[in-house]
Structure formats: structure tokens, C-alpha cells
Structure 1
Amino acid sequence: MCFFHIVSQTMPRIRTATARMLPELSPPLERELTESNFPLTLWRELAALGWLKGFETPNQLCPDYGQIAQAAMTLTRAYASPGLTMSWLGQLLKLDILKRYGNNTLNCIEEIESGQTLCALAISEPNAGAHPKHLTCRAESTGDGIVLTGKKAYVSQGPHADWFIVLAISDEVADRKQFSAFIVPRSQRGLTLATPERGQGLASHSHCGITFERCELPAAARIGTPGRAFEEISQPMRSLEDVLMLAPIAAAIRLQLELLAGIPEGKIPTEELTPAFCLSETVSELGLLSARRLGQNAIPPDLSALVIGARALIEQSQSLIAPWMSLHPKLETLGKDIRLLTSIGQSATYKRAARLARALAPTGG
């Protein structure tokens, strides 16, 4: 069975399923899905349909990651915007952080779940990335409160957020930095947002820097265990995003293939794109299966090796599609988004996988 026949047979079924999950939403204008804009009307309609809550499992140990991955595929297919999906996924994960570790964050949670605002996570710093050894932003205790001083960079959704989860050094033990997390409102005195950074893609998923100049916070602004924010928030967040974006990336590849399927036969050799279709289906299943594995235990397993393997399949699919990217403008846009998503946190993910590989090596003796 040729590639064109496979895609033409499955497109109606997938589109029907998408319509059932996202009924009667206002389609975002093309100008809304850009790096500098955010589709607030669509976002609030998604919230009204319950897309920003209701993904908890019965035991409340963690969100239903399998359901989230499936919904992420649906959202990507509906709007052909991996950046919008990344924004949605990020809000769900930040809501989980606030519900899990926040003590006085009910107002913040309600605002995010209703689609009225966004929450951003501030970890990375200028010329330092997110490596804890190189971070310098500090949180000094004043007895009855906290003072934040320092800078953050590349804060996802920072330009549109009204709340920020900020990781800062709160102590040093045996020359090792200890990080705590704080919830900070956009209006807080001493917080200044930089001009939004121009990225390379991911429409509606914008970034900016933040400066904290003696930003005074109440002690209640601290969330999570003091000194454990990197272990409780930063590391799990990176691992969860890596896994949960696999299925929507597969959906983006499928959109590319559907665009190519609409081009008159004869211009594209079928034997070239059938393998790309098979690779996208494999990544989709890997993404859904790995997402379900995340929720099987209170502490998610390390799936970094699986993520790297899936990303290799994604790169292969893009190599197969590359000769025909110029046939439709949306092909290259999706291709850029896919490349960006597979490169995020690549070094850290590879290091985690390398540790797993070293653990397999026989010990001497």
C-alpha cells in the first residue's frame, strides 16, 4: 500500500477525532500565531473546555500524562502550531508544580486554569544556561521575607506571563549551591522584564529576560522544600517536557506528510515518503507509551535514552522530507519547529542517557 493511499485513508478519521475534542473553537488568526503574539481568545476558549485542568489521575500522585500526550497531538493537528502546544503543555506542568508545592498559590492557580493569565518558569541565566554550577541569582533571607537579586534569561512565555516561578540560590552547603523556588507576580516591585527575544520559530511561544533588583518578597512566596528546587522542579520539568513533546512532534510530521500527500502524484517518489510515514507512526507510539510510563509511579522513570532514540527517528524523517520542503511554505515552518523542539535540552538529556549507559558497564573485580 503506497504512502498517498495510507494518508488519504487515515486523514478523515483523525480529523473527526480532532473535531470531537475541540468543538466550535474560534480559529486563531494567522497574525495571532506569531512569536510576538499570543492567541488569548483561543486560549480562554480552551480553558472553558477544561483543557487547563482535569488531567489529574484518581490517586492524585501526578497528572494523567498519557491523556496529556494524546491531547497534545490533537492540539497540534488542530492548529498546526507546535509552539501553541508547547505553551499549553508548559502551563499544565507549572500548574502541577503549584498544586504540588505551593502553599499560598490558590489565586494564581485559578487565574491560570481560567485562561486569564500564564505562568512562566525562570531558571536559565545570561551566559550560563540552566546549569546549577553557573547560576548566580540569589534569594537572601531578611528574617520576615526574601530579597531576590540577579538576572534570568530565555524565560518561556515571560512576555505574556503574570506569574513567575523563580529558582534562586538560597544557601551553600560544602561549596554546593542550594536552590529554592519562589512565586513572584509580574507587578512585584523590583522585577523588570526585558524586551522579548526574537527566536527562530515556535509561534506564540515567546521568551524574554528578567532582572530582579532587590525584589522583596514575603516568606510565603517560597514554594517547595527549601534548598531542593533543582531536584523537585528543574530536573523533573525538563524530563517531562522531553517525553511529552514526542507525540505532538509526531503529529507535526504527520501534518507535513499530509501537505505532501496533497501535491499531485508523480512529483514525489512514493518510496521516499513511505519510510517517513512509518517513522512518524513509530515516534507517535513511542511518545504515547512513554507518557503513560511517566504516571506509573510517584517518581517518574528516567526515559532520556528513549527520548534520544525517538529524536533520532525524528531527524531521519526530516531528512527524508527535506528535498520537498520548498513545495509548501508550511512544510518549512513545521520543519523549523520540529528541529527546535528536538534540540531543546539536548545536551542535558544526552548526559542523563550516558549515565544510564555507564551503569550497564560491568564493574571490575
Structure 2
Amino acid sequence: MSTTAEWTDDQLGLRDAIERLGPELSAGHVQDDRAGTFRRDKWEKLAQTGIFGLPVGAAAGGLGQDLRTTMFVLEGLGKACRDGGLNFSATTHLASTVTPLARFGSAALKQRLLPDAIAGSVIGAHAITEPSAGSDAMSLRTAAVATADGSRYVLNGSKAFVSNGPIADVVVVYARTGQQGSATGTTAIVVERDRRGLSFGAPIAKMGLGSAPLCELFLDDVEVPSENVLGKPGLGFLVLDHVMKREILYSFVVNVGEMDNRLHATIEYAKQRHQFGQPISSFQSVANKIVDIKIALETSRHWLYATAAKLQSGRDVTVDMAIAKILVSDYALSTALAAVQLLGGYGYMAEYGVEKDLRNAVAGTIYSGTNDIQRTRIAAMLGL
């Protein structure tokens, strides 16, 4: 996966359209991160490329691309766009909302929401984590109760750490509709922002990804029609499993693109920066750090695309997905730290945006299931 030789002209064209926007999407990225500003003008430029319709069939208004092609284009976004928060908001929307709408939405729900979600004129989020549950999705307290005639659901509860929450027009809420702890007790329900009883907390300041807004969400007797259920009642974990696989592949392949950018930036700097009468690239300790970035990039790329190919073929990827998530998030963090160290004072100063990448990378070890949770999953698959 280290070259573009295996990709078709059409696939390369889709990626090139994203990469050409890199300078516009990157503009002001340091300031936007510092201020916690989501730039809707950038979002609209990105949406105009059709990126949110990549994995959606042409009949539904999408571009009809397969999983690996979608990832290839998203890798290009990570490489070209220095606004990590924008990248994260984009993959959050694609995985949390576009993906389940296209795969599990009823005909009425697709007709009502999917075209605008593909166009990016409607921004989506999903609400999974709760203050008291954390990563334990089996212990959700947010409840959805069907009305006597079965035409509506009434939702009550709260959610934490809702990425895109402050800007979301629709939220996929995972709520308990059956016995707590049951694998068939959770349902995924689309809730529009203007529903009475739905409220959002103020944007929460965080360590990194500052331009990707995040907040809490509160549901107080929120009524939604039954057609807003994704899939079938009680099968929310099937929806969530489908979504989380894509969330890992989409968001972390963006990190691969960012590592690619990091590799080229450190090579260029090391060749230009002179100390003791010679470029620092001639120092073995510097060269070794850059080589390690290259190894991290290629290993991450291999694991993600190989896992995607295995998923496309219908095989079980439980362990592969967990390994890929751990590897890529750890490598994103270690390569970001290496870049700060290689650039020295320039890496440490906020104005150059390199330290921002390090702060952003910490999040990857936490979201989409912490790396410790991923290790626990692998251990269970090993019978431990």
C-alpha cells in the first residue's frame, strides 16, 4: 500500500480532488484549534467534493465506491488537510450518520435525510457514551419506550462526549429498549435537532481536535416516529458494530494520511536544517527517527487496508480491527512526538502546528474504544 500504482485513474482522480483542496482546508488551522472554531465554510468546500457520498450507492445519490476506495480518498484528506478537527468531524459524520442511514434506514428515513447527509447540508453525530457507562455499552441508561400504538418512541436520558454535537442537525442515539445488559436490548434511533425535549450542552474544551466540537446531550421525553429506528428495535448492537468498524477504518486511515504528511515534513526539515556544518539528516539519531516514522506509516497502512479487504470479503475481523486500531493510534502518537522532537523549538512552538498534532493524536488512543478495551477484546478472542 506504499504506492498509488494499484489504484485506477478514477480512484486517483477522487483522491486528487481532495488533495487539491488541502491549502484551503488547512487555512487557519492553528488559530481554529486554539479558539475551538468549527469552520462551516471549510465544511462546505469539503462536502462539495462528494466525499460523504463515497460509500453510498448511486441509486441513493452517492458515488458507489467500495470500502477501500473510500479509505484511499480519506487518506488523501489526512495527508493534505492540516485541520485535524475538521478531518475528525468529517469522518464522524460519515461513520455515525451517513453509514447507518444508507445501510439500515427505512425507505422513508432515507428519503427524508440521506440526500442532505450525503450533501453535507445536514451534519450528523452519534450518541453512545454515557456518564455512568463509559465504554460499557451494555449498561446504557438512556431509554426509549414505544407508545401504546407503536407509532412513536419516547426517549429519556443523557449522553456524554458527543463529537459534532454542537453542530449536529441529526443524532443517532443508542438507547435501551429492552432489558439492561441484553444483547438485544438496545435500539439505534435517529433524532433530529429540533425535536422538543432534546437539548445540547455547551461545547467542551478539550486537549486536542479543538476545531471538532463536542458536548453533552440531554433527552427529556423526546418523541420520534418509529420510522426513525435504524434496522429493527432491539438490534442496535448490530448497527453499532457495523458503524464502529467503519469509524475505525475511516478515522484512522486519515491518521495514516497525517503520518504521510509528517514523514515528508520531517525529511524536508532534516535536509534543510544545518548544525555543526552539516544537515541534521546526516546524524544517525535523526535518520533513525525518520525511518521509524516510515515504518509506522507503512505498518499502519498495511493493517488498515488489509483489514478492510478482509471485511469486504465477509470474514470475521474482530481481532484484526482491534489490532489495527491499537497499532495506528499508537503510531500516530509516537510519530507526532518524534516530529516535535525532530523540529526542536519549532516543533514545540504552537504557531507551527506540530505540537497540535501531538495533542490530537492522544485522542486516538481513547475514542472508538480505548486501546485497553481493544486489548481486552483480543484477549477474549484468544480465550484468556
TM-score (norm 2): 0.79
Q: SS state of the match for residue 151, structure 1?
A: strand
1:354 aligns with 2:379: yes
Quote how far apart the aligned CAs of 1:43 are: 2.0
State the distance in 1 between where 2:85 and 2:264 align.
19
| 8 Å contact from structure 2 (residues 22, 77) kept in 1 | no
1:27 aligns with 2:33: no
1:327 aligns with 2:346: yes
1:158 aligns with 165
State the distance in 2 between where 1:84 and 1:24 align.
13
2:265 aligns with 259
Residues 25-79 of structure 1 deviation map (CA, whole Å, 9 limit, x = unaligned): 881441455673322222223222211113347999x962211221111111221
- Structure with higher RCO (Cα < 8 A, 6+ apart): 1
Q: SS state of the match for residue 172, structure 2?
A: strand
Q: What is the aligned-residue identity percentage?
A: 20
1:233 aligns with 239
Quote how far apart the aligned CAs of 1:215 are: 1.1
Greater CA drift, 244-253 or 134-143 = 244-253
Letter in 1 for 2:211: S
Quote how far apart the aligned CAs of 1:283 are: 1.7
1:4 aligns with none
Map 1:6-17 onto structure 2 (within 5 A): none
Quote how far apart the aligned CAs of 1:225 are: 1.5
Quote how far apart the aligned CAs of 1:123 are: 1.0
State the distance in 2 between where 1:129 and 1:147 align.
23
1:89 aligns with 91
More helix by share: 2
State the distance in 2 between where 1:132 and 1:330 align.
35
State the distance in 2 between where 1:174 and 1:86 align.
30
Letter in 1 for 2:81: Y
State the distance in 1 between where 2:199 and 2:354 align.
37
Tell me the matched-pair count.
343
Quote how far apart the aligned CAs of 1:181 are: 1.5
Quote how far apart the aligned CAs of 1:227 are: 0.8
1:285 aligns with 302
Greater CA drift, 273-282 or 26-35 = 26-35
State the distance in 1 between where 2:163 and 2:264 align.
30
State the distance in 2 between where 1:343 and 1:126 align.
15
State the distance in 2 between where 1:125 and 1:63 align.
34
Distance 1:45 1:321, change over 3 A: closer
| 8 Å contact from structure 2 (residues 333, 358) kept in 1 | no
Map 1:1-365 onto structure 2 (within 5 A): 19-23=16-20, 27-28=24-25, 29-30=27-28, 31-32=31-32, 36-56=36-56, 64-93=66-95, 94-103=97-106, 104-105=108-109, 106-144=111-149, 145-172=152-179, 178-230=185-237, 232-263=238-269, 264-265=273-274, 266-267=279-280, 269-297=286-314, 302-303=319-320, 304-318=322-336, 320-321=338-339, 323-324=341-342, 326-328=345-347, 329-344=352-367, 345-346=369-370, 347-358=372-383
Greater CA drift, 208-217 or 40-49 = 40-49
State the distance in 2 between where 1:179 and 1:205 align.
27
State the distance in 1 between where 2:181 and 2:362 align.
40
Letter in 2 for 1:83: G
Distance 1:180 1:116, change over 3 A: same
Letter in 2 for 1:282: T
Quote how far apart the aligned CAs of 1:153 are: 0.9
Distance 1:342 1:127, change over 3 A: same
| 8 Å contact from structure 2 (residues 55, 66) kept in 1 | yes
Q: SS state of the match for residue 67, structure 1?
A: helix
State the distance in 1 between where 2:100 and 2:182 align.
28
State the distance in 2 between where 1:102 and 1:342 align.
30
Quote how far apart the aligned CAs of 1:137 are: 0.6
Greater CA drift, 24-33 or 329-338 = 24-33
Greater CA drift, 85-94 or 203-212 = 85-94
TM-score (norm 1): 0.82
Q: SS state of the match for residue 220, structure 1?
A: helix
Across the aligned residues of Structure 1 and Structure 2, the Cα RMSD in angstroms comes to 3.1
Greater CA drift, 269-278 or 104-113 = 269-278
